[in-house]
Amino acid sequence: MCGIVGYIGNRSAIPVLMDGLKKLEYRGYDSAGVAYINGNGLEIKKTKGRIEDLHKILPFPLPECKIGVGHTRWATHGEPSDRNAHPHACGGVVVVHNGIIENYQQLRSRLTSEGHEFSSETDTEVIPRLISSHMEKGNTFEESMKKAVSDLRGSYALGIMSGNCPGKLFAIRNGSPLVIGVGQNEYFFASDIPAFLQFTNKFIFLEDGQICMLSRDDITVENLGPNGSSKKARQSSGAKVVEISWTPEMAEKDGFDYFMLKEMYEQPRTVRDTMSEWLDNPPKMLDSLGLTPKMVLGLRRLHIAACGTSYHAGLVAKYIIEALAHIPVDVEIASEFRYRDQLIDKNNLFISITQSGETADTLAAQREASKKGAFTLSICNVVGSTASREADSVLYTRAGPEIGVASTKAFTAQLAALCLIAIALGMKRGRLIAAEAETLINQLKKMPSLIEKALASGKHVKDIVGRIKGSRSMLYLGRGINYPIALEGALKLKEISYIHAEGYPAGEMKHGPIALIERGLPVVVIAPMDNLFEKTLSNIEEVKARGGKVIVVTDEPGLRTKADEVIEVPPAHPALSPFLNVIPLQLMAFWSGVLNGTDVDKPRNLAKSVTVE
Ligand code: M6R
């Protein structure tokens, strides 16, 4: 999705903005632009293409300026083109926007009838034109901006600046992520924290309906009301500043060629960090999350909603929580959750799982559950994100910034958090006996080193991928708790390498997908040595009998004689095997992407965080 940045301070603004945009590249984009105010007034440079293309059209030497805004555009309204690129301007007012203005057609007609001639197909262009229109009617720039915003419907994070007001920047939030970076006599705004981590680790998280006015020495935050009214926010002077523990290095490649590769190899640490605080006493974690013993004992059902990879983590959790805590768990794709009548009440716990904490559908599901009276807990990776602020309670995954669009380390960190919850609920509800809890906890303590061993298959996986290069389709099969891992393997492959892939429960093969199997079709089978092993073995035979090329992920070396390729992972407790089985599948997707020449960290059409419905 689009990324916006803004800067005001004593540094040269253009390099700061360009660097911020570079850090937001992972969000996905097709064009980029900046606007700045220098001695000649307001200037805008924008182009279709990458940040490098924007660099090429900047003046040399760079103009001296201390204020500016920037944008990376992920096309929604209008094709990727120079004219649709942001910033958009009218009457000296420039706007960068992330989100969607739902009533833009209506506003566009109104403005056209007033004589405005639009130069782009975007929904965004109505905003500077609306501001101008209000100014033409005698309102000041600030009044006009607030009035314009009250005309908008939809979701937006806006950065606004005017050539006639060169000492001020404005940031407005409604439904799309926006953070304010607080420096020494300098301020920043951005769609996401990594944009300015190298300058500050202090951030203010704006609420929906707030406007922040940034000058070199101060910021103020106001709550916007109807018809352009506004009231100073309670937190305004000395607004609540949150210190982030992420370092700039965490958002760098650190010697790896790709963020995805770096992030996969970070997993031993990120899983350890996520669990370390609570592993010796999981039930204590429930207390600290505000889940009182009475609530835990009274829980009748647990609802999990999430999207994509986070949804797959939720599916794994269903197996673990139902087995250890004996509570029925419903897991639903967040974009479906609010469109049916959910039977949720105050005896239910709702868990949202989200790396970014900004996924629009997941937020909507969480709000819906909250409205119905459920206690909402968010498993989230980004401190201060919307999901974390709106939930009744948050359990943070400690994965650090995840920049690669394909989620890897966030997934295993989510599994770690969910395992802690399952064990804690099981213990508190008296369903998990102490010895079994101890076995699981001991195994979880070893998980970082087991993941390290699983990662050692990297070179072998790369060779296998080389041997199946050219395949345009793949099947992923798993059973029980590893069925969601088959789904996750297929999702990873699709998004990174653009190869068609399906994840299926192995037992469902005979009900249709087996028709797809033909000579040479690569079929990845997850076959841990658990109670379903023999059944999975039969599925392997069925695939082989039809000429499929079987690639097995297993902890059973004996499978070498049965499969075309074997990827060994260390043995694990059956409830924890997904942690290890997912690793070769991540590596497989990664190497397929690299060998197919795709942009692995920024695959086509995708955005890291999906902030619109
Ligand atoms: O930030 P979230 O965890 O809410 O994001 C959910 C999905 O958009 C995300 O997992 C997506 O599916 C990834 N690209 C998968 O690798």
pLDDT tens per residue across span 394-440: 999 999 999 999 999 999 999 999 999 999 999 999 999 999 999 99
pLDDT at 233 over 80: no
Cis peptide preceding 226, ω within 30 of 0 = no
Residue 191 has a pLDDT of 94
C-beta 414 within 6 A of ligand 1: no
* Non-local CB neighbours of 367 within 8 Å, separated by 6+ positions: 390
Which pLDDT score, from 0 to 100, does residue 274 have?
A: 97
Residue minimizing CA distance to atom 11 of ligand 1? 308
Distance 10 CA to ligand 1 centre (A): 37
Confidence of residue 237 (pLDDT cuts 50, 70, 90): very low
Pick the atom of ligand 1 nearest to 406's CA.
16
What amino acid occupies position 314? G
The predicted-structure confidence for 174-186, as pLDDT tens digits, reads as follows 988 899 999 999 9
Tell me which of 192, 263, 309, 402 to substitute to probe ligand 1's pocket, judged by most ligand atoms within 8 Å of the beta carbon.
309
pLDDT, residue 40, reads 83
81-90 as b/e: b if 16+ CB within 10 A: bebbbbbbbb
> From CA 519, how far away is CA 549, in angstroms rounded?
7
- pLDDT tens digits, 272-285: 999 999 999 999 99
CA distances, 163 to each of 37, 85, 125, 320 (Å)? 7, 19, 17, 58
Mean pLDDT of 87-99: 95
Predicted local confidence at residue 139, as pLDDT: 95
What pLDDT is stored for residue 235 in this prediction?
Answer: 52
SS (H, E, C) 555-592: CCHHHHHCCCEEEECCCCCHHHHHHHHHHHHHHHHHHH
Confidence of residue 247 (pLDDT cuts 50, 70, 90): confident
Residue 57: alpha-carbon gap to chain centroid = 31
387 Cβ below 6 A of ligand 1: no
Name which residue sits closest to atom 9 of ligand 1, judged by CA: 308
| Cα 469 to averaged position of ligand 1 atoms, centre (Å) | 26
Whether residue 327 has pLDDT greater than 80: yes
Which atom of ligand 1 lies closest to the CA of 608? Answer: 14
pLDDT of the residue at 236? 44
Residue 248 is predicted with a pLDDT of 84
Work out the pLDDT band at 225, boundaries 50, 70, 90. Answer: confident
Q: Is 307 in the pocket of ligand 1 (CB under 6 A)?
A: yes
| Residues that are catalytic | 2, 608
pLDDT of residue 234: 58
66: tokens are 């201390």
Give the distance (Å) from ligand 1 centre to CA of residue 608: 7
Using the mean position of ligand 1's atoms as its centre, give its distance from the Cα of residue 490 in Å. Answer: 14
Residue nearest to atom 7 of ligand 1 (CA): 308
559 has pLDDT over 90: no
> What type of residue sits at position 176?
S
Measured distance CA(182)–CA(602) in Å, rounded:
29
Question: Which domains, ranges and CATH numbers included, belong to the chain?
Answer: 3-249 (3.60.20.10), 256-454 (3.40.50.10490), 458-595 (3.40.50.10490)
Ligand 1 centroid–CA 383 distance in Å is: 17
Residue listed under structure tokens 């995954």: 397
Q: What percent of the chain has pLDDT over 70?
A: 99
Atom in ligand 1 nearest the alpha carbon of residue 606: 14
Test site for ligand 1: of 337, 610, 613, most ligand atoms within 8 A of the Cβ = 610
Ligand 1 and 355: CB distance under 6 A: yes
- Atom in ligand 1 nearest the alpha carbon of residue 410: 3
- Find the 394 Cα to ligand 1 centroid distance in Å: 18
Q: Is the pLDDT of residue 495 over 50?
A: yes
- Report pLDDT for 26: 81
Write the pLDDT tens digit of every residue in 147-169: 999 999 998 999 999 998 889 99
Pocket of ligand 1 contains residue 382 by CB under 6 Å: no
Question: Does the pLDDT value for residue 239 go beyond 80?
Answer: no
